[in-house]
Amino acid sequence: MRFASLLFALISLSAGQAKQVFTGTITDGECANADHSHMRMGPTDAECVKACIEDHGASYVLYDGKNAYTLSDAKKAAPFAAVKVKVTGALDSAKKTIQVDSIEKAR
């Protein structure tokens, strides 16, 4: 019985997180709530996001209105700076990171 419990626990851990769809705005870790008024690193919010990423080493995040989640794939996030999007991926809730499968503009 003990072996079966251990085996079930290992299988559960290796199964990984289920994919979900998250909706929010692509921003950066410096302006994680998508409010760029205090940084204003460029004439637009998108320019501010890009400057914080490139010049200050920030990470791309998805802000859903309440929470900011770090995005695992900067290349997929970059074209959507300051844009409302749908991100499909698996959430690591302990690290508040989304393992990105895809990003598309929200309608």
CATH number at residue 39: 2.40.50
Q: Is residue 12 part of a domain?
A: no
Q: Is residue 5 part of a domain?
A: no
Q: Is residue 4 part of a domain?
A: no
Burial of 103 (0-12, 13-18, 19+ CB in 10 A): buried
User: With a threshold of 0.85, does the pTM exceed it?
Assistant: no
Q: Is residue 11 part of a domain?
A: no
Residue 60 sits in which domain range?
Answer: 17-105
Q: Is residue 99 part of a domain?
A: yes
- pLDDT per position as a tens digit, 14-61: 455 789 999 999 999 887 777 666 666 778 889 989 999 998 889 999
Residue 67 CA from chain centroid, whole number: 10
- pLDDT per position as a tens digit, 51-96: 999 988 899 999 999 999 999 999 999 999 999 999 999 999 999 9
Q: Is residue 94 part of a domain?
A: yes
Q: Is residue 6 part of a domain?
A: no
Q: Is residue 3 part of a domain?
A: no
Are the C-beta atoms of 36 and 51 separated by less than 8 Å?
no
Which 8-state DSSP code applies to residue 103? Answer: E
Q: Please count the structural domains in the chain.
A: 1
Helices (H), 15-79: 45-56, 74-77
Amino acid sitting at position 85 = V
